[in-house]
Each structure stands twice: as structure tokens, then as C-alpha cells.
């Protein structure tokens, strides 16, 4: 099969980008022809391991300009609007005018809307009209809407949704209802998502395929260290501003424990100030980005998820693959789509700081409990192994190709 | 790991800098009472400050008032921290640092708050920090600690 993925920014470091590359690697290893099309490009190299047989092309090159679509993941939207950047470099006056206009199809409430305007839309539309291949996979609402409108009907078209429906703003939900029926299938991450998207799109096929962890062959944690770990972009969605006061309560009872938060982001300064205000500088460390997260997870004894909402919390599942028990908020499409309270970890009501502190304290004081929950976490993580997940994409694409009218023709 | 004074906690608060830790790679002899916290001004080795730091076994728990650095010291300086067996011939100096854990690059990870000392004439901020070699030093700089974000505006945690 010839499979094309359409991404906003293949050169960033977000979760969507990582999981798409995992899928691409698995499909190319199975002998398929895979191409990633990046709408924007502001870096020379991709940031995740990518099989060299996967081709990467980009539509708008913003390298050497002031723009930056770094981390243009599903939650991008904070920070200042982009500067003139590549737009200033556009030669034709008409292009420059289009680049300053609001997008026509992409709803303003899309978290990545700031990267779109009519010039970007037209560039993507042009590309889509000329695309050849068997399967087109688009990866976020803005691109899904454009693919629904412009991608050739001769291709199998699959929309990926990495976010829970309730997280999308009203105009995005409206666009989803209007445009997604054009797809052969809409793929979502959790069972709850599947039910919600299916209710909005009664005549469209909605399938659930979770993201895969990158490996199940991991060094197991031994649960003896006094290290709790959390990870994610330093951004309000991840709730580290709730985790810090919870850890403040815990540290009084468990002063030899420390919390390591891995990740970078625009709220680092605020979090640092909160650490100082709570006098947590001996116990909580903002570790920054690590390229060896596996090693860091293996050193820990428990994983904390403090998010306000999630899509599918992949780093948590990676932590479970190391046998780490989870303490977390039971937030929308968060941990409870993956694990059961009391079995692989302890879940508490969303944004309940006291309860989060209580759950952490309970696990810190009970190594046997950490071991028991951790063993169950490792078993549950197996459902997300590459061997379990990746074949499902291949079967979905084959099935849709076979089922489509003139399907054999498309196989060419 | 060569002998040094391993830092476990640093508490820069309430006008003092308090250090808690233990000597590593050196078994102190009898004179536990004579040990001191020693500050040596970088590039000015003859400028030193000393504070009593009696040992409990190999453990120390010592502190100094930031006023000594901010008001009486030069407005801009770096002081390197040692545990010293006491002044005089045969003095043993063990550099303070944190080397026994797995975290490398503490300069950017284990960051401590600055304390501000202001007189009528000038302000000085004093901040302990880990060097690129994970040793502990204290920096003095003229100026004031900028207000924290919550003092100037309400944080917009959810947008």
C-alpha cells in the first residue's frame, strides 16, 4: 500500500508526531510505501527515530524565519501569535495578502488555528488535489477538515483524532460533524472517545486504535527508590501547578522522597516560582528534556499524572511498561481509560490536591503496594505494545481498500 | 569519588543559608567541635568567612546570615563553600557539593531562590547555586529580586 500521512509539523516534539512516526516505522517495515507530509517545516531534522525508508516532504519551509511551530501538538495555542516570519518572504502580493487573512475552513477554536490562514489552506488544498497513493491519513481537526474537502475520492481517507471530543471547542465540534462524514473511517484513541465520536457521526465508521508504547522490553523499576516521576509539557493542561502543593503536603510525612518532573514548556518560570514559594527546592526538580526517559522511569518508584485533561496519556503508559504504579487525577480521557482505580494505581477526583497528596503518601509508605500495583500496571501496558497495536492500522487500511468501490483498482 | 562535603539540603530562607549534609570519603578525628563552614571568595583567596559547624559523626548542619555577604561583602562576588577542619596549619578543606546522586547538570535543575538585602544605598541579592561541576557556591549581585509572578498579576493557568 502507498500510505500518506498529513501532519501540521513533522519536525516538532509533540505526542501526535511521535505516535505517527511509530506507525510509519511499523508500516514501512511491513513493506509499505510511506510518506509523511509536513505542512510546515522549521527544522532540518525530525526529532524522533524515523526509518530512513519513510519519506518526509514539507509544503511551507519556514526555516531561517522568525516563525516557529515548535511543539505544535494538539494543545498548541499558548504563547504569542507568530510573527511575520515566512509570510514576509512571500513574493507575490496576492500570496502575502492571503497569508494575512483568516482561514476559510479551519475553525478559530482549533488549538493550532494560529498556524493557518488562507495561504496555508490553499497550499494544503493544492497538495491534496495532486496527491496520489492508496491511503491518506490526516492527523488533527484542521487538516481533517481540509482533507475531507480536497483529498481525492479515489483514495481511502482516514481522519485521526488525538483529542477527546469534549476538549474541542464548539466551532471545532461543529466542523467535525459537518466534514468528517466524508471519511472512510475516523480513528480515535480510547473507547470513551469512540462512543462520543460515533454519537456525533452516526453514519461514519469510528474505530478505536490506541497509540503504542515504543517498546515493552523495558527495565522494570524495583520500587525501592524514593523517586516519584511526572512528565509532560510545562503547560497548564498538565496540572503541575496542582501537583506542587500536593507534593508539599506529602514531603512533611515523607521528607526523603523527591519528585522529578521531565519536560520543557512556557510555564517553567511560574513553576519555578511556585517551587520557591512552597520551599520545595530540595524536593522537586524540573529536569528539562531528556532523551533517555526510559532510564529515568526505571529509576522511579511511582508515576504521578496531574493533568486537567488528556488525549491518551502515553508517558503514563510508558511508565506502566516499567512496572510503575500510577497516582493520578481521574480527568477526562485520562488514566481511567487505561487503568482501574485500585488495580494498577490510585485515581482521585480531578484537581483534588488533598486527595492526590493522600494517594501519593499511601504509596510512598507501602512498598509492597507499589510492587503489587506496578505488576498489574505492567500487565495492562501489554495491550499497548507495538506488536498488539501496529497490525491494526494495516488491517484497517487493507479492509477499507478492499471494501471501497473499485477497491481492487486502487491497489494498482 | 574524592573526599568532599556532600550536600543533601540547602535552605535559603529567613535571611540565612543553611546547609545539611555529611562528609564523604573522610573520617573526621576527635575534634568534631573545631569544624567550620568556610567561604572563600573566588579569585580572592585571602578573603574568607568562617562559621562554626560542629560535626555529628560525619554529619554537618551549618548556616550563615546572608547579611554578612550582602552588607559587609563586596557588592558583586562569588563565594566557594567548604567544610574546614578549623584554621591553622594542617587545615583540611573539603569542597561542598552534591555528587552522590544520579542527577548531572544540577546548575539548571537544582536551582535555589535568591534572598534580597536592601539598605538605603543599595540592594544585593544572594543566591546559592551549583556550579557546572555540581559544587556549591554562593553568588552576590547588586540589584533586587524581581517580584514573583503572583505579586504582579493573577496567573492564567487555564486559558
Which of these, B5, B1, B2, lies nearest to B98 by C-alpha position? B5
Judge whether B45 lies within some domain. yes
Which of these, A196, A230, A194, A232, lies nearest to A210 by C-alpha position? A194
Residues A275-298: what's their mean pLDDT?
94
Give the ipTM: 0.88
Across the interface, which of A77, A241, A287 has its CB nearest the CB of B109?
A287
Across the interface, which of A77, A270, A279 has its CB nearest the CB of B149?
A270
Alpha-carbon distances, residue A182 vs A204, A383, B122 (angstroms): 8, 30, 69
Q: How many CB atoms lie within 10 A of CB B46?
A: 6
Judge whether B157 lies within some domain. no
Give the count of domains, chain B: 1
The answer to whether the CB atoms of B11 and A286 lie below 8 A apart is no
Do residues A54 and A24 touch, judged by C-beta distance below 8 A? yes
Tens of pLDDT along A175-199? 999 999 999 999 999 888 999 999 9
B110 touches chain A (CB under 8 A): yes
Is A227-384 the same fold as A2-212+386-411?
A: yes
Distance of CA A69 to the CA centre of its chain: 15
Do residues A322 and A346 touch, judged by C-beta distance below 8 A? no
B146 touches chain A (CB under 8 A): no
Q: pLDDT band at residue A310, thresholds of 50, 70 and 90?
A: confident
B88 touches chain A (CB under 8 A): no
Which of these, A96, A144, A110, A107, lies nearest to A124 by C-alpha position? A144
Interface test with B, best of A266, A267, A276, A278 (most B CBs within 10 A): A276
**Residues in chain A whose Cβ is within 8 Å of chain B:** 77-78, 236, 241, 269-270, 272-273, 276-277, 279, 281-282, 285-288, 299, 308
Judge whether B159 lies within some domain. no
What kind of architecture, by CATH, is found in domain A2-212+386-411? Answer: 3-Layer(aba) Sandwich (3.40)
Tens of pLDDT along A281-292? 999 999 998 888
Cell of residue A296, nine digits: 529515568
Tens of pLDDT along A348-377? 999 999 999 999 999 999 999 999 999 999
Across the interface, which of A269, A272, A285 has its CB nearest the CB of B103?
A285
pLDDT at residue B119 in the model: 73
**Does the CA dihedral A42-A44-A47-A48 come out positive or negative?**
positive
pLDDT surpasses 80 at B15: yes
Distance of CA A34 to the CA centre of its chain: 20
Q: Which CATH class is domain A227-384?
A: alpha beta
Instruction: Chain A: give the shortest CA distance to residue B24, in Å.
Output: 19
First and final CA of chain B: distance in angstroms? 49
Q: In what order do the strands lie in the sheet with A284-288?
A: A284-288, A258-262, A227-231, A302-305, A326-329, A345-348
pLDDT surpasses 50 at B158: no
Q: pTM of this prediction?
A: 0.81
Tens of pLDDT along B59-109? 999 999 999 987 777 778 999 999 999 998 889 999 999 999 999 899 999
Q: Which residues contact B118 (CB under 8 A, 6 or more apart)?
A: B124, B144
Cell of residue A128, nine digits: 491534496
Instruction: Chain A: give the shortest CA distance to residue B62, in Å.
Output: 16
Compute the C-alpha angle B130/B132/B137, nearest 5°. Answer: 35
B152 touches chain A (CB under 8 A): no
The answer to whether the CB atoms of B159 and A78 lie below 8 A apart is yes
DSSP string, chain B: --SEEEEEEEEEETTEEEEEEEEES----S-GGG-EEEEEETT-TT-EEEEE---BTTEEEEEEEHHHHHTSS-SSEEEEEEEES-SSTT--EEEEE--SSS---HHHHS----EEEE-SS-EEEEEEEE-TTSBEEEEEEES-PPPPHHHHS------
Judge whether B52 lies within some domain. yes
Diameter of chain B by CA atoms?
64
The answer to whether the CB atoms of A281 and B13 lie below 8 A apart is no
Top mean pLDDT of A58-62, A93-97, A306-310, A321-325 is at: A321-325
Distance in angstroms (rounded) separating the CA atoms of residues A150 and A120:
13
Contacts of B6 in chain A (CB under 8 A): none
Contacts of A281 in chain B (CB under 8 A): 10, 110-113
- Is B133 exposed, middle or buried, given 0-12, 13-18 or 19+ CB atoms closer than 10 A? exposed
Judge whether B158 lies within some domain. no
Do residues A176 and A200 touch, judged by C-beta distance below 8 A? yes
Residue B24's domain comprises 4-152
Q: pLDDT band at residue B147, thresholds of 50, 70 and 90?
A: low
Pick the residue from chain A with its C-alpha nearest to B147. Answer: A273
pLDDT at residue A33 in the model: 98
The answer to whether the CB atoms of A241 and B150 lie below 8 A apart is no
Pairing of strands B136-142, B77-84: antiparallel
Distance of CA A344 to the CA centre of its chain: 22
Distance in angstroms (rounded) separating the CA atoms of residues A302 and A323:
9
B29 touches chain A (CB under 8 A): no
B44 touches chain A (CB under 8 A): no
CB pairs under 8 A between A and B: 41
Instruction: Chain A: give the shortest CA distance to residue B127, in Å.
Output: 12
B116 touches chain A (CB under 8 A): no
pLDDT at residue A70 in the model: 45
Hey, which residues does B82 pair with through a beta bridge?
B38, B95
Pick the residue from chain A with its C-alpha nearest to B129. Answer: A281
The 3-class SS string of chain A reads CEEEEEECCCCCCCHHHHHHHHHHHHHHHCCCEEEEEEEEECCCCCCCCCCCCCEEEEEEECCCCCCCCCCCCCCCCCCCCCCCHHHHHCCCHHHHHHHCCCCCCCCCCCCCHHHCCHHHHHHHHHHHHHCCCCEEEECCHHHHHHHHHHCCCCCEEEEECCCCHHHCCHHHHHHHHHHHHHCCEEEECCHHHHHHHHHHCCCCCEEECCCCCCCCCCCCCCCCCCEEEEECCCCHHHCHHHHHHHHHHHHHHCCCCEEEEEECCCCHHHHHHHHHHCCCCCCEEEEECCCCHHHHHHHCCEEEECCCCCCCCHHHHHHHHCCCCEEEECCCCCHHHCCCECCCEEEECCCCHHHHHHHHHHHHCCHHHHHHHHHHHHHHHHHHCHHHHHHHHHHHHHHHHHHCCCHHHHHC
Contacts of B9 in chain A (CB under 8 A): 282
For chain A, what are the domain ranges? 2-212+386-411, 227-384
pLDDT at residue A410 in the model: 47
Contacts of B103 in chain A (CB under 8 A): 285, 287
Interface test with B, best of A275, A282, A307 (most B CBs within 10 A): A282
B108 touches chain A (CB under 8 A): yes
Pick the residue from chain A with its C-alpha nearest to B19. Answer: A282
> Left, alpha or beta for A327 (phi > 0: left; psi -120 to 50: alpha)?
beta
Amino acid at each position: 500500500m502507498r500510505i500518506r500521512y498529513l501532519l501540521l509539523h513533522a519536525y516538532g516534539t509533540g505526542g501526535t508526531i511521535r505516535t505517527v512516526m511509530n506507525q510509519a516505522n511499523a508500516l514501512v517495515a511491513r513493506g509499505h510505501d510511506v510518506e509523511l507530509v509536513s505542512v510546515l517545516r522549521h527544522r532540518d531534522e525530525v526529532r524522533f527515530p524515523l526509518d530512513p525508508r519513510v519519506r518526509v516532504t514539507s509544503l511551507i519551509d519556514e526555516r531561517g524565519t522568525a516563525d516557529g511551530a515548535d511543539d505544535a501538538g494538539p494543545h498548541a495555542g499558548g504563547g504569542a501569535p507568530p510573527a511575520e516570519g515566512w509570510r514576509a518572504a512571500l513574493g507575490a502580493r496576492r500570496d502575502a495578502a492571503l497569508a494575512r487573512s483568516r482561514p476559510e475552513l479551519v475553525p478559530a477554536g482549533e488549538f493550532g488555528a494560529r498556524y493557518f490562514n488562507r495561504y496555508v489552506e490553499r497550499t494544503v488544498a493544492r497538495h491534496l488535489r495532486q496527491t496520489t497513493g492508496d491511503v491518506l491519513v490526516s492527523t488533527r481537526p484542521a487538516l481533517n477538515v481540509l482533507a475531507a474537502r480536497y483529498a481525492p475520492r479515489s483514495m481511502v481517507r482516514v481522519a485521526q483524532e488525538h483529542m477527546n471530543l469534549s476538549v474541542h471547542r464548539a466551532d471545532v465540534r461543529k466542523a467535525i460533524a459537518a466534514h468528517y462524514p466524508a471519511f472512510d473511517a475516523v480513528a480515535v484513541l480510547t473507547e470513551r472517545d469512540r462512543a462520543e465520536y460515533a454519537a456525533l457521526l452516526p453514519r461514519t465508521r469510528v474505530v478505536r486504535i490506541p497509540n503504542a508504547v515504543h517498546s515493552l522490553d523495558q527495565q522494570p523499576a524495583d520500587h525501592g527508590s524514593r523517586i516519584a516521576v511526572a512528565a509532560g509539557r510545562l503547560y497548564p493542561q498538565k496540572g503541575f501547578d496542582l501537583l506542587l502543593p500536593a507534593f508539599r503536603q506529602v514531603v512533611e510525612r515523607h521528607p526523603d522522597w523527591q519528585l522529578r518532573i521531565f519536560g520543557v514548556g512556557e510555564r517553567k518560570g511560574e513553576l519555578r516560582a511556585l517551587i520557591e514559594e512552597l520551599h520545595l527546592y530540595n524536593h522537586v526538580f524540573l529536569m528539562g528534556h531528556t532523551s533517555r526517559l526510559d532510564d529515568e522511569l526505571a529509576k522511579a518508584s511511582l508515576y504521578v499524572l496531574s493533568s486537567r485533561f488528556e488525549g491518551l496519556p502515553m508517558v503514563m503508559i510508558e511508565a506502566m511498561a516499567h512496572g510503575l504504579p500510577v497516582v493520578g487525577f481521574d480527568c477526562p480521557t485520562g488514566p481511567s481509560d487505561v487503568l482501574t482505580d485500585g488495580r494498577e494505581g490510585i485515581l482521585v477526583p480531578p484537581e483534588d490536591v488533598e486527595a492526590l497528596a493522600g494517594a501519593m503518601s499511601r504509596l510512598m509508605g507501602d512498598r509492597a503496594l507499589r510492587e503489587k500495583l506496578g505488576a498489574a500496571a505492567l500487565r495492562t501496558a501489554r495491550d499497548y505494545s507495538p506488536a498488539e497495536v501496529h497490525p491494526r492500522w494495516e488491517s484497517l487500511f487493507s479492509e477499507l481498500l478492499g471494501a471501497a468501490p473499485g477497491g481492487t483498482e486502487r491497489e494498482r | 569519588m574524592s573526599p568532599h562535603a556532600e550536600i543533601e539540603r540547602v535552605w535559603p530562607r529567613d535571611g540565612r543559608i543553611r546547609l545539611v549534609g555529611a562528609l564523604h570519603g573522610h573520617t573526621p578525628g576527635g575534634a568534631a567541635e573545631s569544624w567550620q563552614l568556610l567561604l572563600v571568595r573566588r579569585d580572592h583567596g585571602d578573603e574568607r568567612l568562617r562559621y562554626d559547624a560542629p560535626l555529628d559523626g560525619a554529619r554537618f548542619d551549618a548556616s550563615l546570615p546572608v547579611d554578612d555577604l550582602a552588607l559587609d561583602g563586596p557588592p558583586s562576588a562569588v563565594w566557594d563553600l567548604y567544610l574546614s577542619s578549623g584554621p591553622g596549619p594542617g587545615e583540611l578543606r573539603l569542597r561542598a557539593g552534591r555528587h552522590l546522586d544520579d542527577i548531572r547538570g544540577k546548575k539548571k535543575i537544582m536551582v535555589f531562590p535568591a534572598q534580597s538585602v536592601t539598605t538605603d544605598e543599595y540592594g544585593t541579592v544572594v543566591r546559592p547555586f551549583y556550579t557546572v561541576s555540581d559544587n556549591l557556591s554562593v553568588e552576590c549581585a547588586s540589584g533586587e529580586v524581581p517580584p514573583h509572578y503572583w505579586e504582579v498579576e493573577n496567573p492564567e493557568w487555564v486559558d
